[in-house]
């Protein structure tokens, strides 16, 4: 197992090209090498933090790589050509500058409300 760790670290050093720091884009092959090693080490009882440390990776990074693949898009079915529309509320709709919304009043009730609030 130690040979695999050394091989992984050599791949990362080669990838880094002498640079230090974060922001490395690991190629898929390098990620898969770490994931394969991590699965085997986890099965033998090692902790995720210890595995990540031995590979020289952050624990969060390795944990993300171990997550099942996420699907970015899902297939959807369009049921109708027209989007569904909400029916207009009965009466007048009053919206204040602060966002207060009053619906369903008759015109005389809106006038009274505005007079009282005025």
Domain 2-66 has CATH 3.30.200: no
Tens-digit pLDDT profile for residues 66-98: 987 555 677 888 777 776 677 776 778 888 777
- Domain parsing of the chain, residue ranges: 2-66, 90-118
Structure tokens at 29: 């092959």
Tens-digit pLDDT profile for residues 13-31: 777 676 665 667 788 888 8
What is the distance, to the nearest Å, from the Cα of residue 95 to the centroid of all Cα atoms in its chain? 35
Eight-state DSSP code of residue 97: T
107, 90 contact by CB (below 8 A): no
Global confidence as pTM: 0.52
């Amino acid at each position: 197992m130690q040979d695999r760790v050394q091989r992984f670290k050599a791949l990362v050093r080669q990838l880094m090209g002498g640079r230090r720091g974060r922001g490395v884009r690991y190629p898929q092959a390098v990620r898969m090498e770490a994931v394969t090693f991590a699965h085997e080490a986890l099965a033998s009882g090692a902790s995720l933090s210890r595995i990540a440390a031995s590979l020289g990776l952050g624990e969060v990074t390795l944990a993300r790589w171990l997550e099942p693949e996420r699907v970015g898009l899902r297939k959807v079915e369009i049921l109708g050509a027209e989007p569904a529309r909400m029916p207009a509320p009965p009466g007048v709709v009053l919206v204040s500058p602060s966002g207060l919304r009053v619906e369903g009043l008759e015109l005389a009730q809106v006038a009274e409300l505005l007079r009282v609030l005025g």
